[in-house]
Structure 1
Amino acid sequence: MMIALIAGLKYLHLAAMLCWCAALIALPLLLSLYGSTWRHNDGGEERQARYAEFRLITHYGYVAFATPAAVIAIAAGTGLIFAAQVFDLWFAAKLALVAGMTLVHAWIGHVILISAENRSTGRMPSPLIALALAVPLMMGVLWLVLAKPDLAWLTDWMPGFMLAPRGQA
């Protein structure tokens, strides 16, 4: 029973992570490439139609695809922590990288919001910054999960209170 639960959680976690990572790559590219086309087109109705399409794609891509995928990936991953009892140091490093992916995810949402608010000026931060941050974070997570490196050498420079359970020094 427990093996089937772990296998199901792994499948759900992996599928959601793939969708989330795809969105973290696609949304900045959409914001960068597609977002520039409606800014530089001078046609009135055509420009409005392009802008409406741009807003729908980015908004629903973020709200209806990327965010649910992130929530499912994190929830399934949290379930896996306890079901598989994974409490190694490489896993803590993975969680730190996933936290970074979450920050990039939130920043992409911010850029999508800015793209709607600053439509007339066309000023928004480069969404490619998110891509430059997300890809190394994703690669780091992938490496940690596949290699499961022994990171015990990191504990050599940590203070003792960080290595003992609270109240049991």
Structure 2
Amino acid sequence: MIAILKAAHIIALSIWCAGLILLPILLHIYGRRSEVRTQAGYSEFRWLTHYSYTAVVTPAAVIAVAVGTILIFALEILDAWMLAKLIAVCGMVLLHAWLGHLIVQAGEGRGMYATPRAGLSLLALVPLIGLVLWLVLAKPAFEDAVALFPAFLLEPRGNQIPARFDPL
């Protein structure tokens, strides 16, 4: 069962990441073509961006996040690298929402309004995707990073909760 969940997570994440890379390119390059200035070209551009975002990329994102959450609880992964991965995935979700906003703006502005800013999302998306991949494959130990925190952040206040580990 875990193998099926992992396979579903990897497939959905691959589709989501490919869509997050393709959508800015689609908005940037296809949105500047002269065919978009005609009604038929604009309708094709609007259908292509809207359909790919709502019917392919967003469902893949929801499946990837849902199955990933199930895997976290099923495998009881409580390591620091997983927290770092979840933070990077939150960045991907924010950029996903921003791309949806740009697609709506491109639809309302005949494709020309959002196209210059769509390419900027690649500057953040590609490093985030690489960071998620590195964190999953390397599973780095962050014990050295714990030493950077002050001691009062590493112990329970009032000793109400027993410490699970001694990082220092």
**Counterpart residue number, 2:28:** 32
Q: Does 1:157 align with 2:153?
A: no
Q: 2:127 aligns with which of 125, 133, 136?
A: 136
**Counterpart residue number, 1:123:** 113
Output the CA distance in 2 between the equivalents of 1:114 and 1:163. 46
Tell me the matched-pair count.
Answer: 159
**Counterpart residue number, 1:105:** 96
Output the CA distance in 1 between the equivalents of 2:123 and 2:86. 19
What percent identity do the matched residue pairs reach?
Answer: 49
Taking structure 2 as the reference length, what is the TM-score of the superposition?
A: 0.87
Q: Does 1:22 align with 2:18?
A: yes
Taking structure 1 as the reference length, what is the TM-score of the superposition?
A: 0.87
Cα offset for 1:157? 2.1
Q: Counterpart of 1:119 in 2: which secondary structure?
A: coil
Deviations 1:65-89 (CA, angstroms, capped at 9, x unpaired): 1100000000000000011111100
**Which sections of structure 2, spanning at least 5 residues, go unmatched?**
163-168
Report if the CA contact (8 A) 2:36-2:42 is conserved.
no
Output the CA distance in 2 between the equivalents of 1:155 and 1:25. 34
Report if the CA contact (8 A) 2:8-2:67 is conserved.
yes
**Which sections of structure 1, spanning at least 5 residues, go unmatched?**
none
Shift in alpha-carbon separation, 1:42–1:159, aligned structure 2, 3 A = closer
Cα offset for 1:158? 2.5
